Structure 1
Amino acid sequence: MDTVGSFVLVLHSHLPYVVNNGTWPFGIDWLYEAAAETYIPLINALNELADEGLEFGITVGITPVLAEQLDHPVFKRGFVKYLNQNIKFAKQNEKQFKKENDEHKAYLAKQWQRIFKTAKEDFTKKFNKDILGEFRKLQERGIVDILTSGATHGYFPLLSDDKLISSQIRIGVDTHEKHFGTKPSGMWLPECAYRPAYNWRPNVNSDLGFEPKMRRGVESLMHENEIRYFFADYELVRKGEVSKSHYATFDEKDGFFHFAQKEFDFRPDASQRTPFRVYSAVSSHLGGDAAVAFIRDPETARQVWSGEIGYPGTPVYLDFHKKYSEGGLRYWKVTDNELDMAYKHDYYPQDIPKAIEENAHHFSELVYKVLDGYKLWTGTEGVLVAPFDSELFGHWWFEGPSFLKSALKKIALNPRIKVQTAKKYYESKDFFDVAKLAEGSWGENNDHGTWLTSDPFKPTVWTWTLLYNDEKLFKEKVAEFEVTKDKKLIKIMNQVARELLLMQSSDWQFLITTVSAKDYAERRMYRHHIYFRRLLKIADYKKENKNLTKRQELFVRLCCKKDSLFKNLDFRKFI
């Protein structure tokens, strides 16, 4: 039977560095929630599907900063305590509901106890406290293709120097190899943010000034670090250009796609700019180093991520926002998105299987109709790329992992659809169209506005001023100290580099702009800036003096303990 095309599901897993940086409501509890509600259920669902003999593959991005946290002893100890605490809360809730003669909520509290006990059993015994190890096993089974990302999810288009972007990528590659045993082939660009090569200049006031300088395209920096493919929003193709008659062809020796010609002509025909093709991305008609871009399909994505018109808004599903005062567990269903919290109805688990079946059936049919329609229109097989934040499934949408399992099974059982990892699809092709992507992201309006805004109520311009000043100073200090043999000075400068990487995290601007954790994000941004500057002063002191003062020693120790990630980082590789 002829196939109509390929389905590539991509789950992007990421959290900013929260270990040793707060607990509740902002801090490491975010990591505990994601592990209990998303990562463990996802691993179980994928293993169950594989054990059924289903042939399928999905792509999972695990950012370097998330991987470092999931492997951190502070997380592993704290997560067990978190699960025990939630079991205790559920027992207290059950007792209180029985006292109030609310038997149904008491039953739900009993279910919460079961959920957290199962998660604890899985984590401590089945997974041996090694979530990353379970993902690695899935990768070894060929079920999962694991992507890397920027070290701390830095927003590449706005970082001030290509070498700093390359460092984010290089550390991402090294960290991936450390945890998963192989070099990554693909990468999740933080916020799907892409910038082509052009004469760039800063657009905020800083020590950098406003002098323009030629910048390399992000695809060139990925290619330099042996990244073969990435993911972009459809708007970047729609507003871009596609080569009229030239292609990138696969070279089996190095695993990259290369150009036989030196110059491209680009077609204005918008019909060729589709999300159902994959493109070799270049920055100009002269070609250059490239990486292959998988394109997000906006229509099918909206069915899943939207709480208003998508599946998570189904009335019978567990409501995310309404929580019980004692412990924060949830006992109410969505009911109606427009309904006041006070009027939400009780949640009934027995209503869920039918809703999951309906949603999964609808989605699998939608995927088939889209691919079938594209083949009828063009005569060629397309690829439908569906990227989502992993945490949507389980954390934001409680029933999400069950939906994923059911939808994946239905799509994989359709003999006319190939359910593939991005890597397998990439390796199956002999050539790709060549495209110049537009600059942008998957944020609101597909521009940089979510991360750079002068909105008086949620401004982020100041964060870029701080960051640009510190990036400039860092480059100067690296040049000054790169030849040092002083082990203490090297340790201090390595920690300086960690603080800068943490400042570069795109999460701080996102949390400020969305006002979801504005104060926390502002404090984190400023705290890393203060640590960065103070550590540099200590480095200057160490250069001129044999020993640090006791106070300086304590501060260096504090920084190294508080922000303890990327142990093998070397500041001298940043320039």
Structure 2
Amino acid sequence: MTEQPVPAPGMFTLVLHTHLPWLAHHGRWPVGEEWLYQSWAAAYLPLLRVLQTLAAEDRSHLVTLGMTPVVTAQLDDPYCLTGMHHWLANWELRGREAATRRSGADTGYTEPEALRAFGIREQAEARLALEDFEVSWRHGASPLLRGLIDTETIELLGGPLSHPFQPLLNPRLREFALREGLADAHARFAHTPRGIWAPECAYAPGMENGYAAAGVTHFMVDGPSLHGDTSLGRPVSGTDVIAFGRDLRVSYRVWSPKSGYPGHAAYRDFHTYDHVTGLKPARVTGRNVPSQDKAPYDPERADQAIDAHVADFVEVVRRRLVSESERIGRPAHVVAAFDTELFGHWWYEGPVWLERVLRALPEAGVPVGTLSDAIDGGFIGAPVDLPPSSWGSGKDWQVWSGDRVADLVALNTEVVDTALATVDKALAQAAVGSAWSPRDAVADQILRETLLTVSSDWPFMVSKDTAAEYARYRAHLHAHATREIADALAAGRREHAERLADGWNRADGLFGALDARRFPR
């Protein structure tokens, strides 16, 4: 008889944050739709496959999954679904090309025999993804996610439309974005999230009041926001809204700015390409090994590393639960939180690691539950006043408000002021002499473009110098659209404003239910 492990005190929660900016119709390569399709194929498809597999085994309350409205909009969008289908078919063709390669010269990778073996595996993986997509994803992600929500396999976290950096946002636009984001989730999943992943884990004092008014009961912050004491959720500033903090000691074991499992020598290298096919056929090999000297990827070697890292993580979580419970004198709660895209897109082996760790934790006596389970289980401590914070560099707002992005901060302020003044005037005129006003597509599009302008992604990409030129282009493009429509309306050229709004809507027609009439007056 197998000896049962001694149960660990408290509870562990895994939180995943799924987000990309709106990329459809805004370029393909090197930044644009390719980013969406790569993440979809490498992270979203396998993650849902893992969750469905575990759900079929009657496992529930496994993951707290944040899905931002801008991601679900793309995963449900007919244009994006068609583009993804084409991308998967092209992936299979690239695998076939690698499988029949006779030479590795001038490709950036010089192991032709290893490349052919890799291509055979890659072609088979692409074919599996195609079959999965054609059978299960015909109507987008929402039906799949709703099934996981209904069976309580996951808890869904929502968020505001377009993922704005909320502390710097006009309060009325902040309220509107959050309420519309929650409504968008309800429309897609027949479920309104109780919790949210605040964009960038950003917080400013007083935001908890807006959360409470919108029906939000809990949200995520980074560990330093709670001064490193993340052992329990905390009510914020006299409200019933709970802040849960990411345990950095546990989360950074998997991935941190300096280290983590994905950097292991056996795992697939993210940066080494076969330049002909665009595939990644090498393993990490070593931190300072140049790409041309990387060893071929070895699935068996990687599989052994996955098992080792599953065992390591389970032990880290177990030790943390024991030590934190002893420190606070009651069962503790440990939260590990990551970007979903880490698992598959950045770390190829991540989805397999996730499936194994979600099996291994309960087998090792570690209770696993969601953030809502933590509230229901009483893992709540004393009230706290949170400082202004985020999960960005320095754990403050500098990534989104620093000198490098001062121009974008000024742009956002100007565009929001223009948009709000124009929308207020349009709604006031429509309501004159009537208790009811028709929907205004022009005002809707002004707000839609404004929200795209203030997406937190653009200053993040500029501050981190990752496709900064693309980010500035996107911010200014949406700002231009907002101004152009607003100027035409302000000049009394209503028909021209309608034509402009219709034209911009063809490119940025996400959030079709957005209704300016619900904007706070």
State the match for 2:34 in structure 1.
29
**C-alpha displacement of 1:431:** 5.6
Please list, as runs of the form range in 1=range in 2, the aligned pairs for 1:273-288 lying within 5 A after superposition. Answer: 274-282=229-237, 287=238
Deviations 1:13-52 (A, max 9, x none): 0000011111111111111111111111011112222333
User: Does the alignment pair 1:181 with 2:217?
Assistant: no
- SS in structure 2 at match of 1:294: strand
Indicate the residue corresponding to 2:261 in structure 1.
311
Letter in 1 for 2:93: K
Match for 1:78 among 77, 80, 83? 83
Q: For each residue in 1:189-238, what CA deviation from the matched residue of structure 2 results, as whole angstroms up to 9, or x when unmatched?
A: 00000010xxxxxxxxxxxxxxxxxxxx1111111100000011111111
Conserved? CA contact 1:297–1:386, under 8 Å = yes
Cα distance in 1, alignment partners of residues 516 and 398 from structure 2: 31
Q: Does the Cα contact within 8 Å between 2:62 and 2:153 map onto a contact in 1?
A: yes
- Residues 1:476 and 2:421 are matched in the alignment: yes
Identity score, percent: 29
Given the alignment of the two structures, is residue 333 of structure 1 paired with residue 283 of structure 2, yes or no? yes
The structure that is helix-richer by fraction is 2
Task: Confirm or deny: 8 A CA contact 1:97 1:105 kept in the other structure.
Answer: no
Native 8 Å contact 1:20 1:562 kept in 2: yes
Change in 2 beyond 3 A, CA 1:517/1:412? same
Given residue 408 of structure 1, which amino acid in structure 2 is its aligned partner? L
State the AA in 1 paired with 2:226: V
From the superposition, tell whether residues 474 and 430 of structure 1 become closer, same or farther in structure 2 (CA, over 3 Å).
same
Give the C-alpha shift of residue 307 in structure 1.
6.9
Aligned residue number for residue 411 of structure 2: 466
> Aligned partners of 2:100 and 2:379: how far apart in 1?
63
Range with greater deviation from structure 2 (294-303 or 564-573): 564-573
Q: Counterpart of 2:372? A: 423
Q: 1:308 to 1:108 in 2, by over 3 A?
A: farther
Distance (whole Å) between structure 1 residues aligned to residue 476 and residue 310 of structure 2: 44
- Measured against aligned partners, the alpha-carbon deviations of 1:266-287 in whole angstroms (never above 9, x if no partner) come to xxxxxxx6111110011xxxx3
The aligned residue for residue 218 of structure 2 is 229
Paired letter, 2:68: T
Query: In the TM superposition, what is the alpha-carbon distance from 1:553 to its structure 2 partner?
Result: 5.6
Distance 1:84 1:48 in 2: 24
Which letter does structure 2 place at the counterpart of 1:438? P
Query: Residue 93 of structure 2: which of 82, 88, 92 is its match?
Result: 88
Identify the range of structure 1 (483-492 vs 381-390) with the bigger mean alpha-carbon deviation. Answer: 483-492
> 1:556 & 1:169 partners in 2: Cα distance?
23
Alignment pair present for 1:134 and 2:79: no
Match of 1:519 in 2: 469
Amino acid at match of 1:420: G
Tell me by how many angstroms 1:423 deviates. 1.3
| Aligned: 1:449 with 2:398 | yes
Greater shift after overlay, 430-439 or 224-233?
Answer: 430-439
Q: Distance in 2 between matches of 1:112 and 1:527?
A: 38
Please report the TM-score for the alignment, with normalisation by the length of structure 2.
Answer: 0.93
Q: Does 1:44 align with 2:49?
A: yes
Partner of 1:374: 324
Distance 1:503 1:55, change over 3 A: closer
Please identify, of 474-483 and 140-149, the stretch whose mean Cα deviation from structure 2 is larger. Answer: 474-483
1:219 corresponds to which letter in structure 2?
E
Give the AA of the match of 1:404.
Answer: L
Shift of 1:425: 1.7
1:9 is aligned to 2:18: no
Partner of 2:399: helix, strand, or coil?
coil
Equivalences for residues 545-556 of structure 1 within 5 A: 548-549=495-496, 554-556=499-501
RMSD over aligned CA atoms reads: 1.9
Find the aligned partners of 1:99 and 1:466 in 2 and give their Cα distance. 48
The alignment partner of 1:512 has SS state of: helix
Secondary structure of residue in 1 paired with 2:400: coil
2: CA distance, partners of 1:485 / 1:506 = 32
Instruction: Tell me how many residue pairs correspond in the alignment.
Output: 505
Q: 1:381 to 1:521 in 2, by over 3 A?
A: same
**Matched residues in 2 for 1:86 and 1:488: separation?**
46
Counterpart check, 1:218 vs 2:218: no
Query: Structure 1 pair 431/443, CA: closer, same or farther in 2 (3 Å)?
Result: closer
Report the counterpart of residue 144 of structure 1 in structure 2: 154
Distance 1:102 1:19 in 2: 35
Q: Partners of 2:357 and 2:378 in 1: how far apart?
A: 26
Following TM superposition, by how much is the alpha carbon of 1:536 offset from its aligned partner in structure 2, in angstroms?
0.6
| 1:111 counterpart residue number | 121
**Which ranges in structure 1 are unaligned for 5 or more consecutive residues?**
197-216, 239-272
1:557 aligned to 2:466? no
Contact 2:422 2:490 in 1 (8 A): no
1:399 maps onto 2:330 in alignment: no
> 2:3 aligns to what?
none
Shift of 1:115: 1.2
Q: Is the CA contact (8 Å cut-off) linking 1:4 and 1:371 kept in structure 2?
A: yes
For the 8 Å contact 1:54–1:409, the answer to whether it is kept is: no
Greater mean deviation of Cα atoms: 149-158 or 47-56: 47-56
Residues 307 and 313, structure 1, Cα contact 8 Å, conserved in 2: no
Q: Give the Cα separation in 2 of the matches to 1:536 and 1:309.
A: 48
Q: Contact 1:40/1:131 (CA < 8 Å) preserved in 2?
A: no
CA distance in 1, matches of 2:419, 2:457: 21
Cα 1:391/1:111, change in 2 over 3 Å: same
What's the CA shift for 1:89? 1.6
Q: Contact 1:306 / 1:312 at 8 angstroms: preserved in 2? A: no
Where in structure 2 are there 5+ consecutive unaligned residues?
Answer: 1-5, 106-110, 432-436
Measured in 1, the distance between the counterparts of 2:501 and 2:312 equals: 56
8 Å CA contact retained: 2:233, 2:380: no
Whole-angstrom distance in 2 between the partners of 1:414 and 1:316: 25
Give, in whole Å, the separation in 1 of the partners of 2:363 and 2:420: 54
Q: Is the 8 A contact 1:511 1:517 kept in 2?
A: yes
Partners of 2:208 and 2:91 in 1: CA distance: 45
1:537 is matched with which residue: 487, 500, 504? Answer: 487
Partners of 2:24 and 2:441 lie apart in 1 by 20
Residue 489 of structure 1 deviates from its aligned partner by: 8.7
SS state of the match for residue 16, structure 1?
coil
Give me the whole-angstrom Cα distance separating, in 1, the residues matched to 2:148 and 2:420.
40
Q: Who is 1:253 aligned against?
A: none
Q: Deviations over 1:74-107 (max 9, x none)?
A: 1111100011111112212222246888322101
Conservation of the 8 A alpha-carbon contact between 2:7 and 2:364: no
1:11–1:389: 8 Å Cα contact kept in structure 2? yes
Return the alpha-carbon distance in structure 1 between the equivalents of residues 102 and 450 of structure 2: 49
